[in-house]
Amino acid sequence: MADHVDPADLAEIALDRGDNGGRGNSARLAGPRLHLAVCPECRGELKALRAVVRAARSAGPGDPMTEPPDRVWRSIQRELETADPPRGTPSCQPPAAPTVTSSLRPPWGGHRPSRALAALTLAVGLATGGGVAWWAHESRPQTLQNVGAPHRLAPRPGHSASGTALLADSSAEGRVLQITVHNLPDIKGYFEVWLMDPAGRRLIPVGALGEDGRSTLPVPHVVDLPAYPVVDVSVQMYDGKPAHSGHSVVRGTLVG
């Protein structure tokens, strides 16, 4: 038996719709097609590739994915919180219960929140809505109070990243901006978080984004937030230049 069909030719044949005589029936593929007629192995390969082509074509280009609404994650979390109480291993022993200053009840009811599950909330970029969230920031536990509503950070042209930013009061650092960005592009440098005036002319660098796209950054009360309501995340190179690179990935406004 002749050599098996070259994988690239097999791909080409799998892509052939069979209704446009000019493409797949070229003389070049005549040999491979003859081989396919006598080789079950290659036919099997072809069948598998055709299944992929069929799936891709029935989806259509740019078939959009439907993101689950935020409440789905909140339900999952609530379910785990109540049904699977956190394990009491020393490594994830929650520190003392936080002081609740908000008038709203914490969303997990009477349960003492586990540090890990609180981190879960934040990891997905959801606020707990007026309650209290707290977790271990690096090695230092801190309590977050008066957690504000999350504000959406929308992708800038050419980017698919998105995220959330919210303000809270940290027991350790005063007012903080907590920011989470997903789908960050692969870059050589780092991502810097800025507060900007609405015109985009005056900027305050707030700090760098962590490797996981998250950061909780202090925003001292001397910063006049109403004058700098825009949160911007830029790509910065390690070139010693402290100015905004002009290359923004996401942007949103801390209003409302």
Burial class (CB in 10 A: 0-12, 13-18, 19+), 205: middle
User: Which is closer to other proteins, CB of 16 or CB of 197?
Assistant: 16
Are 11 and 49 in contact, with CB atoms under 8 Å apart?
yes
Question: Of 22-30, 149-157, 168-176, 243-251, which part binds other proteins (CB under 8 A)?
Answer: 22-30
Question: Of 70-78, 148-156, 220-228, 245-253, which part binds other proteins (CB under 8 A)?
Answer: 70-78
User: Which is closer to other proteins, CB of 121 or CB of 143?
Assistant: 121
**DSSP E strands: which ranges in the chain?**
133-137, 140-145, 151-155, 162-170, 174-182, 190-196, 203-208, 214-218, 230-236, 248-253
- From the list 44, 68, 95, 200, which residue makes contact with other proteins (rule: CB under 8 A)? 68
- From the list 2, 34, 57, 237, which residue makes contact with other proteins (rule: CB under 8 A)? 57
Q: How far is the CB of 30 from other proteins (least distance, A)?
A: 13
Q: What is the β-pairing status of strands 203-208 and 214-218?
A: unpaired
Q: How far is the CB of 172 from other proteins (least distance, A)?
A: 20
Question: Using CB under 8 A as the criterion, what x/- string covers residues 148-187 for binding other proteins?
Answer: ----------------------------------x---x-
Give the whole-angstrom CA distance, residue 70 versus residue 173: 28
Give the whole-angstrom CA distance, residue 163 versus residue 154: 7
Question: What does each C-alpha distance from 78 to 33, 130, 131 come to in angstroms?
Answer: 57, 16, 14
- Which residues are at the interface with other proteins (CB under 8 A)? 7-8, 11-12, 14-15, 17, 20, 23-24, 26, 28, 48-49, 51-53, 55-61, 63, 65-69, 71-73, 75-76, 79-80, 84, 87, 116-117, 119-120, 123-124, 182, 186
